[in-house]
Amino acid sequence: MATKEEEKITVKIYHGKYSINKEDKDPLYISSLAEYVDKKINEIASTSQIADTNRVGILAALDIADELFRIRDSKKYNNEKTEGEIAELMKLIDNTLSY
């Protein structure tokens, strides 16, 4: 049986260490997420004059959420475009087969 320590992974994000529950996730995946968040926070901190760690974290979270929404919207647009193209191809096939 795993101990509580074995179920956690420690990551460093913006000058702090955090113990994260693995919850059946790959430790490398969790580390990659933490590195990405750390990178975003450091980018925000280095390009702004904000000294408050909480504000920097919130701005980084908004930046990451913006990326997520743009990807999601792009995926939705691409799916809708693909569905439209498939419908057009189906019409062409139907028209060709009916001759």
Please give the pLDDT value at position 80: 86
Please give the pLDDT value at position 76: 82
**Is residue 19 a contact partner of residue 10, using CB atoms and an 8 Å limit?**
yes
Which DSSP helix (H) or strand (E) runs through 99?
A: none
**Is residue 55 a contact partner of residue 49, using CB atoms and an 8 Å limit?**
no
Going from N- to C-terminal start, the domains of the chain cover 5-97
Q: What is the pTM assigned to this prediction? A: 0.69
SS3 label, residue 13: strand
Which DSSP helix (H) or strand (E) runs through 74?
A: helix 53-97
**Is residue 29 a contact partner of residue 8, using CB atoms and an 8 Å limit?**
no
Each residue's pLDDT tens digit, 39-97:
999 999 999 988 899 999 999 999 999 999 999 988 888 888 888 889 888 888 888 88
Q: What is the largest CA-CA distance in the chain?
A: 72
